[in-house]
Amino acid sequence: MLTQRMMWIAWPAFLVAGALEMLVFAFVDPQDLQWFGQPMDLSRQGVYTLSFFVFWAMTCASSALTTLLSLSPFEMNRCPMTTTDRPDGCPKQEAPCGPASL
């Protein structure tokens, strides 16, 4: 299930980053970019690559937040451990059997 959720995040983010890359660089020449008033020392291909990964990271963060907010309270608060392996105080822990539990 975790792998499926990761693909729900990464694949749409990849597609949006690609579209955003095409949109931005249709209007911006990478050689005209400056960083703190200084020209960037990267080639055009370097700027394209770096900006794609920045766009992808930003859209991944957006998709991850959407996926996190779509979880139900049950999914969010579910303990992955079996009831016998849970630590003290964990919800729905079975009480031990025998006279010590009285």
pLDDT at 100 over 60: no
Q: How much is the pLDDT for 5? A: 83
Kindly report, residue by residue over 74-98, the tens digit of the pLDDT.
777 777 777 777 777 666 655 555 4
Q: Which two tokens stand for residue 17?
A: 């980053």
Residue 25, CA atoms < 13 Å, CB-side half-sphere:
18
Q: What residue has token string 């303990």? A: 79
Kindly report, residue by residue over 17-64, the tens digit of the pLDDT.
999 999 999 998 888 888 888 888 888 899 999 999 999 999 999 999
What is the number of helices (H) and of strands (E) in the chain? Answer: 3, 2
